[in-house]
Amino acid sequence: MNIYQPQLALVTDAIDETPDTRTLRLEFQDEAVRESFAFKAGQFGEYSVFGAGESTFCIASPPTREGYIECSFKAVGKVTTALREVNVGDTVGFRGPYGNSFPVDDWKGKDVVFVAGGIGLAPVRCVIWNVLDRRDEFGDVTIVYGARSVADLVYKRELEDWGSRADVKMVTTVDPGGETKDWTGEVGYVTPVVEATAPKAQNAVAVLCGPPIVVKLTLPVLDKLGFADDAIFTTLENRMKCGLGKCGRCNIGPVYVCKDGPVFTAAQMKALPAEF
Amino acid sequence: MTDGTDSGAAAPRRYFISEADLRGLAADLLGAGTEVIAPVSVDACQSPSALATAACLRPGVAPVDVEYKAIGEAAELDLGRDLPVLSLKQFFLPDHEALCRWHQRGLEVTVEEVPTTFAPRVVLAAKPCDSAALAVVDEVMNWDYKDELWNGRREASTIFNLACPVIDESCFCTAVGSAPDDVKGADGLLTPIEGGYLVEATTDKGRALVAAHAQRFAAAEDPATAALVRQAVDERAAARSRVAANLEIDAESVRDWIATHFEDPLLASLAIRCNGCGACSSVCPTCHCFDIVDEEEGVGRGTRRRCWDTCQAPTFTLHASGHNPRDDQHVRYRQRINHKFSIYPLKFGEVLCTGCGRCTRVCHAGQDLVEILAEIDIAARRPGEAAAVAGTSASGDVEAAS
Residue from the list A54, A76, A249 with its beta carbon closest to the beta carbon of B317:
A249
Restricting to A residues 157-196, those with a Cβ less than 8 Å away from any Cβ of B are none
Nearest to B99 by CA among B302, B280, B351, B283: B302
A160 occurs within a structural domain: yes
Strands (E), B301-356: 301-308
Domain end among A81, A98, A115: A98
Selection from B123, B124, B121, B99 nearest residue B112 by Cα: B99
Question: B20 CB contacts (<8 Å, ≥6 apart)?
Answer: none
Amino acid present at B44: A
Count how many pairs of residues, chain A against chain B, have C-beta atoms within 8 Å: 168
Q: Is A124 inside a domain boundary?
A: yes
Question: Per-residue pLDDT tens for B59-115?
Answer: 776 778 899 999 999 999 999 999 999 999 999 999 999 999 999 999 999 999 999
Output the pLDDT for position B84: 94
Residues A110 and A85 both lie in one domain: no
Residues A112 and A230 in one domain: yes
Enumerate residues 223 to 262 of chain B having a beta carbon within 8 A of any beta carbon in chain A. Answer: 259, 262
For residues A22 and A66, state if they share a domain.
Answer: yes
Same domain as A114, residue A216: yes
Q: DSSP strand E in chain A: where?
A: 7-18, 21-28, 44-49, 53-58, 69-74, 91-98, 111-117, 141-147, 169-174, 186-187, 204-209, 232-235, 251-252, 255-256, 263-265
Tell me the pLDDT band of B373, cut-offs 50, 70 and 90: very high
Same domain for A176 and A74: no
Report the share of chain B in percent with pLDDT over 70. Answer: 89
Domain end, chosen from A218, A235, A252, is at A235
- Provide the shortest C-alpha distance from residue A51 to chain B (in Å): 5
Q: What is the reported pLDDT for B13?
A: 80
Chain A contact present for B314, CB below 8 A: no
pLDDT of residue A57: 93
- Do B193 and B231 form a contact (C-beta atoms < 8 A)? yes
What CATH code is carried by the domain that includes residue A22? Answer: 2.40.30.10
Decide: residue A184, CB within 10 A, 0-12 exposed, 13-18 middle, 19+ buried: exposed
A145 and A92 part of one domain:
no
Q: Is residue A150 part of a domain?
A: yes
Any B CB within 8 A of A249 CB: yes
With respect to residue A209, please indicate whether it lies within any of the assigned structural domains: yes
Task: Say if A257 falls within a structural domain.
Answer: no
| A90 and A123 assigned to the same domain | no
Together in a domain, A174 and A82: no
User: pLDDT at position B391, please?
Assistant: 40
Q: What is the CATH number of the domain that holds A202?
A: 3.40.50.80
Enumerate residues 6+ apart whose C-beta is below 8 A from A64. Answer: A129, A130, A133, A134
The low-confidence residues of chain A, meaning pLDDT below 50, are: none
Do A113 and A211 belong together in one domain?
yes
Residue A276 maps to a domain:
no
- Is A244 domain-assigned? no
Residues B32-61: pLDDT tens digits?
A: 999 999 999 988 777 655 555 666 667 776
**CA gap B148, B1 in Å, rounded:** 11
Tell whether the model's pLDDT for residue B398 goes beyond 50: no
Q: Write the DSSP assignment of B132-160 as a string of letters.
A: HHHHHHHHHHTSSS--HHHHHHHHHEEEE
Residues A89 and A172 in one domain: no
CB contact under 8 A, A239 and B109: no
Q: Note down the domain range covering A155.
A: 106-235
Measure in Å the smallest separation between the Cα of A49 and chain B Cα atoms: 9
Residue A60 resides in a domain: yes
Domain identity same for A67 and A131: no
Domain count, chain A: 2
